[in-house]
Homo-oligomer: A and B are copies of this chain.
């Protein structure tokens, strides 16, 4: 028997330990073209909150009584596909469980890169790093010389944004909650750091960016987005990546400075990592070079054991992670 986290009820607002349970599930027979994988690393990400709702979005909702899904890195145990052999390290979306039978077509065999641990493909070389890279450089069209503001800068995506922006010659202001996280963001090379728990974001941002900002990488929405609107310079570009503030509240987004979008010709651009899969080759090359040059550190928050996966996920909404949150099995 395998063990898998199943959605047991749909959360109203903030998800709780009542919304999912670890269950024993029988693995199906290993059919032709299928691969049996034992997971080593599971990814938990804020976007999964959206999949807990029963609404159509860019990814389909989780189904009640079914295992949840998410990025995972594992090892092939048995294969009925010629492309995979026992011992191969693979990345796939059958996370939230210890073992799974998955179609070969949905597996990516991970290349062996010197100095790169396999779990990096759940982080800087995966969804989080790719989200940072494409959001900053494509959606927001950030370029050398820009003043860039990043919220949740100690988080998985945010910490990559800070470092990519610095590597590309931008000025970076990061926001994080608490002295420890702020120090971490500073250690990544941010020019200025805002502690959003220490006072109103708008006041801190005005002090940190007296000339205004050209780019905002939005991971949280809410007060941070409003502050960014308030200090945006003419032709500012906002990459709209996530609004963790709004995922659980169910309240409308309320923005005092929204009308500046017109006067300052601001552009807000929503985007999703998967829009840029066609450019993954460039991404691996460019990110790989930054990683090899030591320009892209990552600090993972690692939780041990499948049992802890739900807690790790819930911790994303209370700031329990610095950098990428991972579960090691």
Q: Which residues of A contact B (CB under 8 A)?
A: 50, 57-58, 221, 226, 240-243, 246, 252-256, 258-272, 275
Contacts and interface: CB of A to CB of B under 8 A. Distances in A.
A39 to B, nearest CB: 28
A272 B268 contact: no
B262 A241 contact: yes
Given A267-B268, A267-B270, A269-B267, A240 B262 contact: yes
14 contacts: A50-B263, A58-B263, A240-B261, A242-B262, A243-B259, A252-B254, A252-B258, A261-B268, A262-B270, A262-B271, A263-B272, A264-B270, A266-B270, A267-B267
A274 to B, nearest CB: 10
A265 B241 CA distance: 10
Q: What is the total number of copies of this protein in its complex?
A: 2
Of A243, A256, A270, chain B has the most CB atoms within 10 Å of the CB of A270
A270 B275 contact: no
A66 to B, nearest CB: 21
Contacts of A270: 260-267
A322 to B, nearest CB: 24
B268 A268 contact: yes
Contact of A259 (B246, B254, B264): B246
A270 B237 CA distance: 10
A104 to B, nearest CB: 29
A321 to B, nearest CB: 21
The 5 closest A-B pairs by CB, nearest first: A253-B258, A261-B270, A268-B268, A262-B270, A252-B256
A271 B264 CA distance: 8
A12 B50 CA distance: 41
